[in-house]
């Protein structure tokens, strides 16, 4: 049977429907009939009632005119429903033919330019013309009237042969190529990132709207903003750093420090601030350790916990006490403050010009406290709560909802369902690697993908950490050519559009629930969890297991 595009077209007139049916029934299996082809070029909008493509014969653009049609010395006429109007079907179909032909010729998939046979035809299925009738621009073989309908398909074939004008007939492959061009069949697939782009734009808008909460803090200098994953805390911390640094009509510009614990989050903050106007950039952005290094604090061994928990904070506090006012700060903003130990707050407060009244703005999520240390600022903070998840899709938000600190409302839009891939802890990394390959095959770009582990680190993370120092490794988070391989301990405050969370622990260790929460909430658009179903149930509880389909 002839190939029909579309298979069941909708026609505005009975005449077009009947002509299409006759060609459908009379043409061969390699032929193609495209109905209602619309095309726009620089001159006008064109519409071809039918385009017939026949291998080894030619291509014919067909114009159908129903009702009563005739031609006299004044030109062409058509009458239907008692109304007579002038028409010019020959010019109309010829112009359309050239437009369609030129459109196909411009497409890079068509390398023959115009050098195949194109013709045109006028079909008047209810009107009759003499067999010897013709005009200079309309030979009788291009006009098919009421008496020609019984063998219309064969007449269209003959029309194609006579219209060749010395040009070669299209081959079967030519017909396939031109059909693809005319029906818009580009070599494209579903772009998995398109919806993610739209959701990201919406989330950015919602987060900026939420920045109005900073107006509440205008007269407050000691504030704690609490919110679960996806609530926009980091964006608000950045916005507050910009506002305090730049100043406002009712508040002078301040010397501001923006701190966090993790190297990865600090790198993100630095990259964001680097895009701002110089007058908006805070005086310091970085980790707690970097905060002390500007005063001469030493490097430390990352495996020596006593240095980080006791020695460094004590030394930093002493160094801060010796600073003059030019080196101190009017305000300190701390993101992911739940990572700070008790001993870390003394140097933070000592770094303020006014230790009693200076600005201290803390952003925290107690359910992301995944380190053994525990600390809170030794000063009173006015609490503000963010209860809307702006970043994660509804499906992802609901999957980790039972792990969040309090009830939150999903505003991140809809996305694909969260998936679970069952695997033993020993095989989890291999299974997670397979999921990464699948997501790449589906169209996710490497820079949008992360594989995060909760137990031992992925071999690629170990390899990259050995090759770079810690700072260099975290810069690879923004590498546009590679998937990021990391551990949930270092990824708080960061996110990826698609995350494969590899739960490769052999048992529910201390703070495993918090690690699961952090890992699941790093994905904004698509989340796949890999691990042992029973272990997931032990860590996250029955409700998380149920939402993962276990």
pLDDT, one tens digit per residue, over 315-326 is 999 998 888 889
What's the pLDDT at 418? 94
CATH fold, domain 218-386, is Rossmann fold (3.40.50)
Class assignment of domain 3-183?
alpha beta
Architecture (CATH level 2) of domain 409-548: 3-Layer(aba) Sandwich (3.40)
**Residue-wise pLDDT tens digits, 241-286:** 998 998 765 678 899 999 998 899 999 999 999 999 999 999 999 9
pLDDT for res 112? 62
Torsion of CA 473, 474, 477, 483, to 10 degrees: 30
pLDDT number for residue 252: 86
Question: How much is the pLDDT for 108?
Answer: 82
Per-residue pLDDT tens digits for 11-70? 989 999 999 999 999 999 999 999 999 998 888 899 999 999 999 999 999 999 999 999
Taking 60 as the threshold, does the pLDDT of residue 364 lie above it? yes
Q: What is the pLDDT of residue 71?
A: 94
536 with 550: CB under 8 angstroms? yes
**Tens digit of each residue's pLDDT (9 = 90 or more) over 121-175:** 999 999 999 999 999 999 999 999 999 999 999 999 999 999 999 999 999 999 9
Confidence band for 341, pLDDT divided at 50, 70 and 90: confident
pLDDT of residue 170: 93
Q: Which pLDDT score is estimated for 206?
A: 67
Domain ranges for the chain:
3-183, 218-386, 409-548
**What is the average per-residue pLDDT within 228-233?**
84
Give the range among 265-274, 344-353, 366-375 with minimum mean pLDDT: 366-375
Mean pLDDT of the chain: 89
Q: What is the 3-state secondary structure (H, E, C) of 428-479?
A: HHHHHHHHHHHHHHCCCCHHHEEEEECCCCCHHHHHHHHHCCHHHHHHHHHC
Please choose, from the candidates 326, 260, 270, 272, the residue with its C-alpha nearest in 3D space to the C-alpha of residue 295: 326
With bands split at pLDDT 50, 70 and 90, how would you rate the model's confidence at 384? confident
pLDDT on residue 188: 47
Rounded Cα distance between 485 and 283, Å, is 32
* Beta bridge partner(s), residue 47: 38
- How far are the Cα atoms of 68, 201, 282 from residue 242, in angstroms, in the given order? 75, 21, 7
Mean predicted confidence (pLDDT) in 358-387: 79
pTM of the model: 0.64
- Range of lowest pLDDT (10-19, 431-440, 462-471): 462-471
More confident position, 214 or 456: 456
Check residue 314 and give its pLDDT.
Answer: 92
Using pLDDT thresholds of 50, 70 and 90, give the confidence band for residue 310: confident
In this structure, are residues 348 and 360 in contact, taking their beta carbons and an 8 Å threshold? yes
The answer to whether 3-183 and 409-548 have equal CATH topology is no
**Per-residue confidence band for 388, with pLDDT thresholds at 50, 70 and 90:** confident
Decide if 432 contacts 469 (C-beta within 8 A).
no
What digits encode the pLDDT tens for the residues 177-207? 999 999 875 544 557 777 777 777 777 776 6
What is the CB neighbour count within 10 angstroms for residue 542?
A: 10
């Amino acid at each position: 049977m002839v190939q029909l595009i579309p298979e069941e077209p909708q026609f505005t007139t009975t005449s077009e429907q009947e002509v299409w049916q006759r060609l459908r029934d009379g043409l061969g299996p390699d032929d193609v009939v495209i109905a209602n082809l619309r095309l726009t070029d620089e001159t006008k909008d064109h519409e071809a009632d039918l385009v017939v493509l026949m291998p080894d014969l030619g291509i014919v653009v067909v114009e159908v005119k129903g009702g009563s049609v005739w031609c006299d010395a004044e030109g062409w006429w058509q009458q239907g429903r008692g109304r007579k109007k002038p028409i010019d079907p020959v010019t109309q179909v010829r112009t359309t033919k050239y437009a369609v032909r030129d459109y196909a010729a411009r497409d890079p998939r068509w390398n023959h330019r115009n050098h195949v046979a194109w013709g045109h035809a006028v079909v008047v299925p209810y009107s009759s013309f003499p067999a010897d009738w013709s005009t200079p621009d309309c030979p009788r073989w291009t006009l098919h009237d009421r008496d020609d309908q019984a063998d219309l398909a064969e007449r269209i074939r003959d029309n194609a042969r006579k219209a060749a004008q010395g040009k070669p007939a299209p081959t079967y492959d030519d017909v396939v190529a031109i059909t693809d061009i005319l029906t818009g069949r580009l070599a494209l697939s579903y772009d998995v990132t398109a919806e993610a782009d739209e959701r990201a734009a919406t989330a950015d808008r919602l987060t900026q709207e939420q920045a109005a909460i900073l107006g509440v803090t205008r007269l407050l200098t000691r504030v704690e903003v609490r919110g679960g994953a996806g609530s926009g805390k980091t964006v608000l911390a950045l916005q507050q750093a910009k506002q305090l640094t730049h100043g406002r009509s009712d508040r002078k510009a301040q010397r501001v420090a923006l701190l966090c614990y993790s190297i990865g989050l600090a790198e993100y903050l630095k990259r964001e601030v680097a895009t701002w106007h110089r007058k908006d950039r805070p005086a310091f952005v970085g980790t707690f350790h970097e905060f002390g290094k500007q005063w001469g604090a030493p490097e430390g061994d990352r495996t020596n916990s006593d240095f980080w928990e006791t020695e460094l904070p004590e030394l930093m506090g002493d160094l801060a006490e010796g600073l003059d006012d030019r080196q101190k700060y009017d305000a300190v903003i701390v993101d992911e403050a739940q990572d700070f130990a008790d001993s870390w707050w003394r140097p933070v407060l000592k770094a303020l010009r006014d230790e009693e009244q200076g600005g201290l703005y803390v952003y925290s999520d107690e359910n992301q406290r995944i380190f053994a240390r525990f600390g809170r600022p030794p000063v009173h903070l006015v609490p503000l709560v963010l209860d809307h998840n702006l970043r994660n899709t509804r499906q992802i938000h609901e999957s980790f909802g039972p792990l969040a600190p309090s009830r939150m409302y999903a505003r991140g839009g809809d996305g694909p369902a969260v998936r679970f891939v069952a695997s033993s802890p020993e095989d989890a990394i291999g299974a997670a690697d397979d999921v990464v390959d699948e997501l790449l095959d589906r169209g996710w770009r490497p820079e949008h993908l992360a594989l995060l582990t909760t137990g031992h680190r992925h071999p690629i993370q170990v390899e990259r950490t050995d090759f770079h120092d810690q700072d260099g490794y975290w810069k690879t988070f923004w590498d546009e050519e590679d998937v990021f391989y990391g551990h949930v301990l270092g990824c708080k405050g960061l996110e990826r559009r698609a995350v494969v969370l590899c739960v490769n622990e052999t048992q529910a260790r201390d703070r495993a629930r918090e690690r699961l929460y952090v890992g699941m909430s790093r994905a904004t658009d698509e989340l796949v969890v890999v691990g042992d179903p029973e272990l997931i149930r032990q860590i996250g509880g029955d409700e998380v297991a149920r939402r993962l389909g276990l």
